[in-house]
Every structure is written in C-alpha cells, then in structure tokens.
Amino acid sequence: MKQNIYDNPTFFEGYMNLRDSKMTYNDFLEQPAMKDTLPDLKGKRVMDLGCGTGGMSKYCIEMGASAVVGVDISEKMISRALVENKDENITYVCSPIEDLSFQKEPFDLIVSSLAIHYIEDYEFLIRKLHSFLKPGGLLIYSTEHPVVTARKDMKNWWQNAEGDRLHWALDHYREEGKREQHWYVDGVIKYHRTITTLVNGLTDHGFMLEKMLEPLPTKEGIDLIPSLKNEERRPSFLIIRSRKTD
C-alpha cells in the first residue's frame, strides 16, 4: 500500500499549520543536520525524495545544484511546492517513490528527509535508488530513529507525579513492520526497521556507509522549543550518508 496521508485534508491542514509555524523539530534538528551532511552541490544533479513543499529542493539550487527533481506522492504538497519553491531548474513530480521509473540522466545525489519510514519495502527502495545514481553518487536520508518507531504503543515516556520525565520506553525492537499512530488523523502508518536492517540494506546493495548522525538541536531551537533538550536523552532521528560503490 502506498500511503498518501498528506492528501487527507485534515492531516494537510494540521501539518501545514505546524510547518508554517517554523517551530518544528525539522526546523531546528533534522534540517540543519541534513544540510550539514550535504556535499558541495555545485553543478550537481539532485533528486529530492519526499520533497513535500520543496524547501530542500530549493535549498539545493541555492547551494549551486544544476538541476533538482523533487518527488512527492501528495498532490497538495506538490501544488504548494510549485507556489512556494518554484524554480526553473527544479522539476516537481507527483508520484509514489515506489512507482518512479524515469531517470534518463542519473543523479549525483539523492536526498530524502523523513520519508523512507513511510515506505514498506526498504530493500526494493534501496535497489531502485541505486539504479538512479551515478557511480560514486551519494544517498543521504533521514528517518525516524528505530528507538522511536520500535514500540507499538505510542506512549513513549514515563513521568513521576511532578511531571518530570523519568525515562523513555523501548520495546518490540525486532518486530519490524507497520506502526499506526494518530497524527492529526487516525491511521498514519510508518514502518519500523532495526538499525541493522537500515545499514545492511545499504551495504548489501552496492552502497558504502560513510557517516551516521543522531542529530542534536541547534541552540536557537532549544531556546524556542524547550522539549528539544530531550534529544540528549533519546534521539528522534537518524541520518545516514552512503555512497554508491558498484
């Protein structure tokens, strides 16, 4: 099943309000770390997988990329991208990642922010992305951290009577697969995978792992969103940079 929760009107409204607030974990945690992980983009061809409203696609152009193809399953997201981050060197494509097949010219870089946990078949995805890259090309993705997605019950932290967080809960780590949660609407589906599945899926299919990051928030972020301090206690995201070797 290819989930297109972003075209659900209730979800879309909730998500866009959050995003427009510029007060999200993406703004102060995931996006700064992803940007730090990018290579020199001058003259590079980039694919932005799960591009949403096109912020990362536009950023790559600003950093010198010669062409970006932004891909998203959601028509609502692509419509917004065409308004907010239109650029003559960006082509936005509305398609499930799984169905992509064009790629006349292979890419130097595929970047993907918090999208792969929506994809059911990771190995199929990695094989496909491998075929889209030039030899030596980079794949850089962020995903919800496996320690976050593991537990089936979404109650993930414990507190005492004073409201202090005592610890986070971990469980069901090896039970990979669907996790359903309420996020603006019921039934948002993510796929939990272990760290070893994420890593070996790359090293077994023609990628060399270059770096892993469990990002920490920016100082500005902690001032604005105090809960970001908790990233010291349990990481929300995992970023993996890998390179096509054969």
Residues that bind its own copies (CB under 8 A): 147, 151, 153, 158, 166-175, 194-196, 199-200, 203, 208-214, 216, 231-235
Q: In this complex, which beta carbon is closest to its own copies, that of residue 167 or of residue 219?
A: 167
The answer to whether 68 touches 47, Cβ cutoff 8 Å, is yes
Least CB distance from residue 238 to its own copies, whole Å? Answer: 8
Q: Beta-carbon neighbour count of residue 118 at 10 Å?
A: 21
Least CB distance from residue 233 to its own copies, whole Å? Answer: 5
Least CB distance from residue 195 to its own copies, whole Å? Answer: 6
Q: In this complex, which beta carbon is closest to its own copies, that of residue 169 or of residue 224?
A: 169
The answer to whether 111 touches 91, Cβ cutoff 8 Å, is no
C-alpha dihedral sign at 56, 227, 170, 188: negative
For 91-117, what is the HEC assignment? EEEECCHHHCCCCCCCEEEEEECCCHH
Spatial separation of the C-alpha atoms in residues 56 and 128, rounded to whole Å? 21
Least CB distance from residue 143 to its own copies, whole Å? Answer: 13
Q: In this complex, which beta carbon is closest to its own copies, that of residue 103 or of residue 200?
A: 200
Q: In this complex, which beta carbon is closest to its own copies, that of residue 128 or of residue 172?
A: 172
